[in-house]
Structure 1
Amino acid sequence: MSHRRVNKRTVVIAGAAAAALAGAAVLLPNANASPDKSAEAKTFSSQAAVKLATGLASDLGGNAAGWYYQGDSKQLVMNVLNEDAANDVRAKGAVAKIVANSLTELKATTKTLSDNASIPGTAWSIDPKTNKVRVLADRTVTGTKWATLTKAVDGLAGTATVQRTNGEFKKFDGTDETQPGANGGADQGGADDGAGQGAGQGGADDGAGQGAGQGGADGGAGQGAGDGQGAGDGQGAGDGQGAGDGQGAGDGEQAGALDGGDAIFGGGARCSLGFNVEVDGAPAFLTAGHCGNISETWATDQAGAQQVGTTAESQFPVSDFALVTYDDANTQASSTVDLQDGTTQQITQVAEASVGLAVKRSGSTTGVTDGTVTGLNATVNYGNGDIVNGLIQTDVCAEPGDSGGAMFAEDAAVGLTSGGSGDCTQGGETFFQPVSTALQATGAVIGGDNGAGGGGAGDGAGDGAGQGAGDGAGAGDGAGQGDGAGQGDGAGAGDGVGQGAEGGAQEGGAANGGAAGDNGAVGNGDNGAVGNGDNGAVGDGSGDAVGDGNAANHS
């Protein structure tokens, strides 16, 4: 609405003019009022907004035309077709926006595009902010392809718009030529027998893998456990050879559990893990379907020595998700996403995406990036017949190798990275497979019991307790909670805690020895033998857990 500017000068207003002005004064309050009364709307968390919008859409039926979340004001905006529906929306505390196009009309538009303009390098999604279908064409759409696309959009009676994107739509699986990013966590085994990524990141010269702590240089004498010599005869964990004889875990055959966003390798490709799940009580994880189509087996290293899982189900194209089961049925797969900074995000639930929702993505090439959801029910044509429907469109960046990686909103799983255009230097669009669809199709569950297998492992001790697999990793004889580490003989609550030359004042132990030197308390020093990794037997990677009877992994 336009407003005319009034000169600030004294005027004499006669009869009719005065009456006209008085009438205008009566009408102005209504003319200036916001048509959707957003100032009176309530604020909602994103998850509460999804719940309310779903209920309103069900109640309003055909009078609802989509909705979106305003992250800055934390308000829900509901598109409706008439004033009666708008009043119902306002009564629930949401913002009502009367629009021209019904959701049925917008869905019909997407079908017309699929039938008449299915061109490689194009994508479209319903944009509730504009109440139109937003069509994107990448740089490969030229000549007759561009003419066909624009003709189709022009014939859609104003229900669609088309625009260019500078990049090229592609799936984001990596190959041997693409390298994992510094924060991607792909194949970062330490030097000289350091454990591979599956059991963490081994230190130099026989350092223990991260799953059994972080062994230090030259054997990394452990701290305060086993007569002051660390876990497993003072050589980190598992006789000082990393976790599992220096091969990652389990004698080099199987790696431990991973977090969302960590690298997985198979069939000459590198992808990223999405979310750990459970299927019929067994540990598994989700990743992209186009990754699942590439390889039957997956490892945590490029050479494939540390095999972690086997593809059980894969759907691509049309959808884009795969279910990979952990080869070791005893794998303790935490419901967490790797934040690529030494910390993780706990995932406890699943959320449906909404336009305007703030999200983050973790992947093995570019680490963690963030952005917002920009479209729903998206279709993208990657070429060669690879067309995927029902995706979430975002302005989050990603690059090859990030495929399958986790998209999440706080503690909620939202999507699995599929593909897009651009990169994390120039920016671009990225499309995600909704996690909810993948879970429903596979029968998997996420986030139960603080994550699939993320609960405690008991109080004590002995061979096989803890989380690793194989001698020297997780719960073997040399690490975790076996003899010489955790709560076995000579560690924690066992004999000789803190009494060796470098026993250290271990928290929770019997700190009779001198204060810790370079080796510090268990799990806290540079060379701690018990740490935060998924295969570590003692929780939280600090000395407090050793000697207190806490055997659970809380990474």
Structure 2
Amino acid sequence: MRKIVTGRHLVARSAITLVAGVAAAGFLVAPTATAAGIDGYAPEVARAAIAELSAQEGISPEAVVEILRTQDASVRTLDQVTGRLGARTAGGYLDAKGKPVVNVLDAAAAEDVRASGAEAKLVRHSTAALASAQDALESVPAVKHTSIGLDPKTNQVVLSVSDVATGGDLAALLRTADQLGDRVRVERVSGEMRLAIYNGEAITGGGTRCSVGFNTNRGGQNYIVDAGHCTRAVRQWNVGPSQGASFPTNDYGLILNTTGSAPGAVTLWNGSTQRITSHATATVGQRIQKSGSTTRLTSGSVQRLNVTVNYAEGSVHQLIQTNALANPGDSGGCLFSGSVGLGITSGKGSGTSYYQPVGEALAAYGVTLNS
């Protein structure tokens, strides 16, 4: 759904920044001492993440701090182990304490994983078998308000079907899921899966409001990487013209930034910022932050990867799914973990939010993150 600006237009600040917001109310304030010393996290981001994740997960603020301090090294371990073992693994994730778990297919691979300092979990289905199951589900004509994604924690592909699912052939989709046996889990959810258009510090054009995603550059020229459904809808923004749009299938776009300001930092709405110094792929179980002008700074965890979401406007593939709160007004902005950029806000479901991996967008346009 596209938010239309009526009456007084919301105008972006002259200094355009990546956007995350700290809500003025609604967060429990963790003690300052617990927010100190988390590498890559601005103190304000750490405090908000500690408070929200502690409430969501029912754990102490001190436990959240330990998770946030642990997970970056855990992600690196996962990447190294799964890269080295290749097809002998079936993906991996971070457990409730932020520690790495690698799915393996045999005892020898399990020993190798344990020797690397990660937990090994023996599973039944290979990456190839799960990919084949996902391909089979996606070969059925798309049904609006459904999604299909990989859950390495259960070693399954998850088919989420909303109670308002329409179009395509829902009966055929469910039949296919049943035929694939325990490689697929069907999950019933409520509400629409919709584009959560606009995020963060507002940009406007043609009566429409979206938001800055990631400030980038190419050959000395600044660009904004944003949601494709935003840049497809509007040719000229108050910060510059749209230069590209990939939507549906993907959900990324490019805006020429003519403002003369493009810092590589997330505004926190209180005069301070969170630097973004790199980008990476997301990991299931990773604790993350999401920014947006409607819900501002929210926190959560990565739930699934390689998710296909069948919006009413078209299907988008290979998205990141999280349980961080997002609402209309949040699209285009940043998914990040401390100083690491992960994705661009695409849409929302019931208790879920979806993100375009930022690395794919950077590669498509040949741009690099501003520092």
**When the two structures are superposed, what TM-score results if normalisation uses the length of structure 2?**
0.78
2:228 to 289, 293, 304: 289
The equivalent of 1:408 in structure 2 is: 336
Aligned pairs for 1:7-156 within 5 A: 45-70=70-95, 72-116=96-140, 118-141=142-165, 145-156=169-180
The number of aligned residues is 304
The equivalent of 2:357 in structure 1 is: 434
* In 2, Cα distance between equivalents of 1:148 and 1:269: 38
* In 2, Cα distance between equivalents of 1:335 and 1:44: 23
Aligned pairs for 1:449-528 within 5 A: 451=371
2:258 to 327, 330, 335: 327
The reply on whether 1:350 has 2:279 as its aligned counterpart is yes
Aligned pairs for 1:129-528 within 5 A: 129-141=153-165, 145-173=169-197, 261-299=200-238, 308-328=239-259, 331-384=260-313, 386-422=314-350, 428-447=351-370, 451=371
Structure 1: which amino acid aligns with 2:249? Answer: V
> Once the two structures are superposed, what CA deviation does each residue of 1:424-474 show, in whole Å capped at 9, x if it has no partner?
xxxx11110001111111111114xxx2xxxxxxxxxxxxxxxxxxxxxxx
Q: Shift in Å at residue 339 of structure 1?
A: 2.0
Any conservation in 2 of the 1:50–1:352 contact (CA below 8 Å)? no
* In 1, Cα distance between equivalents of 2:168 and 2:304: 27
Q: Shift in Å at residue 313 of structure 1?
A: 1.6
* In 1, Cα distance between equivalents of 2:364 and 2:168: 39
* In 2, Cα distance between equivalents of 1:143 and 1:437: 29
The equivalent of 1:511 in structure 2 is: none
Any conservation in 2 of the 1:79–1:96 contact (CA below 8 Å)? yes
* In 1, Cα distance between equivalents of 2:70 and 2:242: 36
Any conservation in 2 of the 1:44–1:75 contact (CA below 8 Å)? no
Q: Shift in Å at residue 267 of structure 1?
A: 2.8
* In 2, Cα distance between equivalents of 1:99 and 1:117: 30
Any conservation in 2 of the 1:135–1:163 contact (CA below 8 Å)? yes
Aligned pairs for 1:1-12 within 5 A: none
* In 2, Cα distance between equivalents of 1:119 and 1:82: 37
Structure 2: which amino acid aligns with 1:286? Answer: V
Q: Shift in Å at residue 150 of structure 1?
A: 2.0
Worse-superposed segment, 434-443 or 149-158: 149-158
Any conservation in 1 of the 2:144–2:168 contact (CA below 8 Å)? no
SS in 2 for 1:292: helix
Segments of 5+ residues of structure 1 without an aligned counterpart are 1-42, 175-183, 185-260, 300-307, 423-427, 452-555
SS in 1 for 2:349: strand
Segments of 5+ residues of structure 2 without an aligned counterpart are 1-67
Any conservation in 1 of the 2:164–2:190 contact (CA below 8 Å)? no
Q: Shift in Å at residue 144 of structure 1?
A: 8.9
* In 1, Cα distance between equivalents of 2:140 and 2:280: 33
CA RMSD for the aligned pairs? 1.9
Q: Shift in Å at residue 55 of structure 1?
A: 2.2
> Once the two structures are superposed, what CA deviation does each residue of 1:487-537 show, in whole Å capped at 9, x if it has no partner?
xxxxxxxxxxxxxxxxxxxxxxxxxxxxxxxxxxxxxxxxxxxxxxxxxxx
- The verdict on how the C-alpha distance between 1:312 and 1:142 changes in structure 2, with shifts beyond 3 A counting, is closer
> Once the two structures are superposed, what CA deviation does each residue of 1:308-358 show, in whole Å capped at 9, x if it has no partner?
111112111111111111124xx1311111223332211111121000111
**RCO comparison, higher one (Cα < 8 Å, 6+):** 2
**When the two structures are superposed, what TM-score results if normalisation uses the length of structure 1?**
0.53
* In 1, Cα distance between equivalents of 2:170 and 2:340: 39
Q: Shift in Å at residue 396 of structure 1?
A: 1.1
* In 2, Cα distance between equivalents of 1:309 and 1:45: 40
Any conservation in 1 of the 2:98–2:285 contact (CA below 8 Å)? no
* In 1, Cα distance between equivalents of 2:193 and 2:369: 30
Q: Shift in Å at residue 275 of structure 1?
A: 1.2
> Once the two structures are superposed, what CA deviation does each residue of 1:233-292 show, in whole Å capped at 9, x if it has no partner?
xxxxxxxxxxxxxxxxxxxxxxxxxxxx21111233211211111121111111100001
* In 1, Cα distance between equivalents of 2:77 and 2:220: 32
Q: Answer 1 or 2: which has greater helix percent.
A: 2
* In 1, Cα distance between equivalents of 2:214 and 2:171: 41
Structure 1: which amino acid aligns with 2:250? Answer: S
Any conservation in 2 of the 1:117–1:152 contact (CA below 8 Å)? no
* In 2, Cα distance between equivalents of 1:144 and 1:317: 17
Q: Shift in Å at residue 146 of structure 1?
A: 4.1
Any conservation in 2 of the 1:277–1:444 contact (CA below 8 Å)? yes
Structure 2: which amino acid aligns with 1:322? Answer: G
Report the identity percentage: 38
Structure 2: which amino acid aligns with 1:288? Answer: A
Structure 1: which amino acid aligns with 2:174? Answer: T
Aligned pairs for 1:537-548 within 5 A: none
Q: Shift in Å at residue 142 of structure 1?
A: 6.5
Any conservation in 2 of the 1:153–1:162 contact (CA below 8 Å)? yes
The equivalent of 1:213 in structure 2 is: none
Structure 2: which amino acid aligns with 1:311? Answer: S
> Once the two structures are superposed, what CA deviation does each residue of 1:116-153 show, in whole Å capped at 9, x if it has no partner?
25211110110000000111112212699543332121
Q: Shift in Å at residue 80 of structure 1?
A: 0.4
Q: Answer 1 or 2: which has greater strand percent.
A: 2
* In 1, Cα distance between equivalents of 2:196 and 2:158: 22
Structure 2: which amino acid aligns with 1:441? Answer: A
* In 2, Cα distance between equivalents of 1:292 and 1:111: 29
* In 2, Cα distance between equivalents of 1:127 and 1:298: 38
Q: Shift in Å at residue 109 of structure 1?
A: 0.9
Any conservation in 1 of the 2:113–2:120 contact (CA below 8 Å)? yes
Structure 1: which amino acid aligns with 2:204? Answer: F
Any conservation in 2 of the 1:338–1:362 contact (CA below 8 Å)? no
